[in-house]
Amino acid sequence: MEHKIKQIISKLDSPQISFADVRITFTDYESITFMNGNLRGYDSSKASPAIGIRVLIDGCFGFAGSKDLSDASIDKLISRAKSNATHGAKFQKEKLSFPALPATIGEYIHQPEIDPFQMSLEEKLDYFKKLAELIKPQAKIVNSHVAAEFERQEKYYANSEGSYSHTLVYNTLPLMGVVAADAGVIQSRTWPGHMSAGRAGFELFYRQQFMENTERIIKEATDLLSAPTITEEKADIIIGGGHLALQLHESIGHATEADRIFGQEISYAGKTFVKPSMLGSFKYGSDILNVYSDSTDPRGLGYHPLDDEGVPGKRVDIIKDGILVDQQTSRHIAHKLGLEPSSNMKASFADDIPLVRMSNLCIAPGLGSLKDLIADTEHGYLLDFTKTWSIDDNRNNFQFTTEIGYKIQDGKITSIVKEPTYYGITPEFWNACDRICGEEEWAYHSTFHCGKGEPGQVMRLSHGVAPARFKNINVSVKIYS
């Protein structure tokens, strides 16, 4: 395949083409769903091929993609990509440009501890059946589910600058949950929460201790039925890592995707309140907040030796000591903003066009354990396990609700509250962060389903976070009613 992709690049060696790249992917995928103890869904595909060809002509990118890798199809794709660029250039007001990069060669082969595609279907179904039996409807539990998605993707990339990479990765998304109901009240609990995916194989189910937490989610879902709600208007809140990953994703991650500054996502996923003039001076968060994009860490789903336009993986500070200092960029947008490209151009499959996407977007750890942080909190709530959320098109005003909250009084957890909800404005919220837990609490939380683009793509990406405390946050629905 290396020979094939380099052969395609050679066909794109033309004076009219100032830059070109080609991607080829082969993807294995499997999903399994149990509902109320019974198998309800199964889907599988093996070695699904895709190819994408992109050319830059007269300052305009032309792209063409297909699932057909035959020589005849490739010739048609080259012709279509050139035609799309040539015709698009006639209507494009601003010509795209960016500096050349040195040729880079990269390879990464990931091997999971337990390859889900080498396991027999019977072995996998037996495990899920046992797990589903443990959480099936009982007492006040009226609904339950166990689900898994497994992906194996091999990717080849080459561009006209001489860069080439070959990668093979395994990703797994595991989840289970229960719903409890009584007297018109309904509550739910999931495990391990909203962002449970990982760069791993079947071992992720053991690593995340699914069997060991079945009794916990049943008990907590049932206890939530009679639990009180938060009554204060404002309170200090500690956000657990699983939910903080989503808060980071929505109010910093998407807000600092620089294509949004120039209106490239307005019609689908929104824009951003961030402006170019804010770089280097805007106080995005408190002094202890440090956020970085790191595509060099193979523990996260966002790792890559090269992104999908040939920029080597790198670690880039986005927020430094609370100040917005950089953006997640493409080569063109970085050049336009006077920045170095951040290695954040990715596409879900080869026949998707690359977009500015999060890779491994992380909050640098602080000091101390979660136990220490709770002990340091006189009165407040520990919130975790995402339930619902909403954020405006500018990534500025938001509302988040978690499945459960743990009330803290005099440094100890005393009880639970149901559906704790908090509200905020992005800069005000992050400036209220007064403590972040240390390395011992820091971990990646990952998703399979970050949507962006038209046609839509879903990206696999990760967030490294540790629990953090935020002071005097709006937690009352009455304020906004």
Between CA 321 and CA 220 the distance in angstroms is: 38
Tokens 């962002």 appear where? 195
Cα separation of the two ends of the chain? 59
Which contacts (CB < 8 Å, 24+ apart) does range 74-82 have? 74/8, 77/51, 77/53, 78/8, 78/11, 78/12, 78/53, 81/53, 81/54, 81/55, 82/16, 82/17, 82/55, 82/57
Average pLDDT over residues 86-91: 96
Between CA 418 and CA 41 the distance in angstroms is: 31
- The per-residue pLDDT for 268 is 78
Q: Is the pLDDT of residue 407 over 50?
A: yes
39 burial class (0-12, 13-18, 19+ CB within 10 angstroms)? middle
Q: Are residues 154 and 243 in the same domain?
A: no
- The per-residue pLDDT for 478 is 60
Between strands 433-436 and 468-474, the pairing is antiparallel
Tokens 């880079």 appear where? 104
Whole-angstrom CA distances from 438 to 142, 242, 435 are 39, 15, 10
Q: Are residues 273 and 421 in the same domain?
A: yes
Between CA 282 and CA 270 the distance in angstroms is: 21
- Domain tally, the chain: 2
Quote the domain boundaries for residue 91.
2-184+196-208
Question: Does 227 reside within a domain?
Answer: no
Summarised one tens digit per residue, pLDDT across range 112-121 is: 999 999 999 9
Tokens 């770089």 appear where? 279
Whole-angstrom CA distances from 114 to 93, 111, 250, 297, 299 are 51, 8, 32, 21, 16
Question: Which H or E run contains 449?
Answer: strand 443-452
Q: Are residues 138 and 97 in the same domain?
A: yes
Which amino acid, one-letter code, is at 299? R
Question: Does 373 reside within a domain?
Answer: yes
* pTM, full prediction: 0.96
Contact 66, 79 (CB under 8 A): no
Residue 194 bridge partners (DSSP): none
- The per-residue pLDDT for 214 is 98
User: What does 363-415 look like in DSSP terms, one character per residue?
Assistant: EPP-SS-HHHHHHT-SEEEEEEEEEEEEE-TTS-EEEEEEEEEEEEETTEEEE
Q: What are phi and psi of 356, to 5 degrees?
A: -70, 115
Q: Are residues 393 and 435 in the same domain?
A: yes
- The per-residue pLDDT for 344 is 98
Note the residue count of the chain.
481
Contacts (Cβ under 8 Å, ≥6 apart) of 325: 279, 280, 317, 318, 319
DSSP label of 427: H
Tell me the pLDDT of the chain averaged across its residues.
Answer: 97
Q: Are residues 163 and 240 in the same domain?
A: no
Q: Are residues 262 and 164 in the same domain?
A: no
Question: Does 225 reside within a domain?
Answer: no
Summarised one tens digit per residue, pLDDT across range 428-456 is: 999 999 999 999 999 999 999 999 998 89
Question: Does 135 reside within a domain?
Answer: yes
Between strands 291-294 and 315-320, the pairing is antiparallel
Q: Is the pLDDT of residue 402 over 60?
A: yes
- Joined together, the tokens standing for residue 61 give 């990118």
Q: Are residues 274 and 152 in the same domain?
A: no
Vertex 343 angle, CA 48 and 396, to 5°: 100
Cis peptide before 427 (omega within 30 of 0): no
Helices (H), 225-361: 241-248, 331-337
Question: Does 218 reside within a domain?
Answer: no
Average pLDDT over residues 52-64: 98
DSSP label of 440: G
Tokens 């080439």 appear where? 164
Between CA 32 and CA 51 the distance in angstroms is: 27
Question: Does 190 reside within a domain?
Answer: no
CATH code where residue 140 lies: 3.30.2290.10
Q: Are residues 203 and 242 in the same domain?
A: no
Question: Does 175 reside within a domain?
Answer: yes
Summarised one tens digit per residue, pLDDT across range 324-350 is: 999 999 999 999 999 999 999 999 999
Q: Give the confidence band of 477 by pLDDT, cuts at 50, 70, 90.
A: low
Between strands 360-363 and 379-391, the pairing is unpaired
Summarised one tens digit per residue, pLDDT across range 367-399 is: 999 999 999 999 999 999 999 999 999 999 999
Percent of the chain with pLDDT over 70: 99
Q: Is the pLDDT of residue 58 over 90?
A: yes
Q: Are residues 93 and 50 in the same domain?
A: yes
Half-sphere exposure of 213 (CA within 13 A, CB side): 19
Summarised one tens digit per residue, pLDDT across range 20-31 is: 999 999 999 999
- The per-residue pLDDT for 264 is 87
Question: Does 217 reside within a domain?
Answer: no
Q: Are residues 258 and 200 in the same domain?
A: no
Q: Is the pLDDT of residue 12 over 80?
A: yes
Q: Are residues 259 and 404 in the same domain?
A: yes
Q: Are residues 268 and 333 in the same domain?
A: yes
Q: Give the confidence band of 481 by pLDDT, cuts at 50, 70, 90.
A: very low
- Joined together, the tokens standing for residue 144 give 């339950």
Contacts (Cβ under 8 Å, ≥6 apart) of 230: 381, 405, 417, 420, 421, 475, 476
Between CA 239 and CA 470 the distance in angstroms is: 8
